[in-house]
């Protein structure tokens, strides 16, 4: 997966040409859409398998972007012929410590899970990732 990459379309509205920054390095030049204030760039992001960051700079001011742009490799997504488990939830939890505090959680049970065998557990807090790889707050 060393040469693997992912493609992204970046778009922003700005009066002057924005500069796209990716992982604190200049990205490809932003292209204006006609005479509008819309700008876009298409970029390859690599390596896959780790989060990346991006933001824009216009008139020496930084804005927008995220610190956790996911770029994951092919094995991170559903594959034909590979059994898939079940995502159960949302399950609502009511706190016994903080009065009135409620939260939701989901449990993914792998297809090969056997209750007689100890299994690893992964916990995501403050959001979730769906099967299409979308991170939601």
Ordered DSSP codes for 78-125:
--TTS---EEEEEEEEE-SSSTT-EEEEEEEE-TT--TTS--------
Q: For 69-122, how does the pLDDT look when each residue is reduced to its tens digit (9 = 90+)?
A: 666 666 767 788 888 888 888 888 899 999 989 888 888 888 889 999 988 877
Query: What pLDDT is attached to residue 25?
Result: 92
Distance CA 111, CA 76 (A): 16
**Positive or negative torsion for Cα 114, 116, 122, 125:** positive
Query: pTM (2 decimals)?
Result: 0.52
Q: What is the CA radius of gyration of the chain?
A: 20
Distance CA 56, CA 124 (A): 29
Phi then psi for residue 53, to 5 deg, are -120, 150
Contact status, residue 11 vs residue 54, Cβ threshold 8 Å: no
Return the residue matching tokens 């493609």: 7
Q: Is the pLDDT of residue 131 over 70?
A: no
Q: What is the DSSP-derived secondary structure letter of residue 132?
A: T
Q: ∠ at Cα 127 (42, 52), nearest 5°?
A: 30
Mean pLDDT of 25-29: 94
């Amino acid at each position: 997966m060393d040469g693997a990459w992912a493609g992204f379309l970046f778009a922003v509205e700005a009066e002057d040409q924005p500069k796209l920054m990716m992982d604190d390095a200049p990205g490809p030049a932003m292209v204006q859409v006609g005479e509008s204030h819309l700008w876009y760039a298409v970029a390859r992001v690599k390596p896959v398998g780790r989060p990346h960051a991006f933001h824009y700079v216009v008139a020496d001011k930084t804005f927008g972007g995220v610190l956790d742009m996911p770029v994951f490799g092919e094995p991170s997504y559903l594959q034909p012929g590979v059994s898939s488990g079940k995502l159960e939830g949302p399950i609502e939890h009511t706190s016994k410590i903080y009065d009135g505090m409620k939260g939701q959680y989901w449990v993914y049970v792998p297809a090969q899970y056997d209750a007689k065998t100890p299994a690893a557990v992964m916990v995501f807090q403050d959001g979730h990732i769906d099967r299409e790889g979308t991170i939601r707050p």
